[in-house]
Structure 1
Amino acid sequence: MDSKLFMEIALGVFTIVGAIFTYALVPYLKEKRVYKWVVKAVYAAEQIFRGTNLGEKKKRYVLNFLKDNGINISESQLNILIEAAVRQLNTSKVEG
């Protein structure tokens, strides 16, 4: 096989792999990392603020913690992740 043709094919393959990595894998890994921090922040809020009717205070704590630590996604996305983490926490309390 001609070395020039081989290099062009290899370059094309690397370009496709790079595009897949950039548009699929990076957001997936970022989401996993973000969710991990959301769960930790929710658990911390549960430990810090004990009692009833403290949901808004806990949520503010989580939002501030995430923003202070460079988690830069929209508030609506954060709300969804927080709700999922709270559900996970509540489920683990019932099962445990």
Structure 2
Amino acid sequence: MTVSPEARRYILDLARAEERPWHGVRLQVIPGCGGLRFILSLDDPRPGDTEITASELTILADPFSATFLDELVVDYSAEEDDLTFRHPDSFGSSC
């Protein structure tokens, strides 16, 4: 998993605003008709989680979501003021 410096800064800014203790950044991957949806949230480890470090951030992922970590790129879009996710398998599908 690659996290750009801009995305790291954005995540840390959100974490500071949260004002609660947290262990890492949880990545959740949800498959659907429009392709994969990626969600990041501040969280603590759960049984069965994979835990990696990317750009000095602790990344937590459930077993399914962990299968997408290797090729995932997280960046920040100033235009959208939000994170962007790129993965080779994030193409859309039909239902």
* TM-score, normalised via structure 2 length: 0.24
More strand as a share of residues: 2
Which has the bigger relative contact order, CA under 8 A and spacing at least 6? 2
* TM-score, normalised via structure 1 length: 0.24
Structure number, greater radius of gyration: 1
More helix as a share of residues: 1
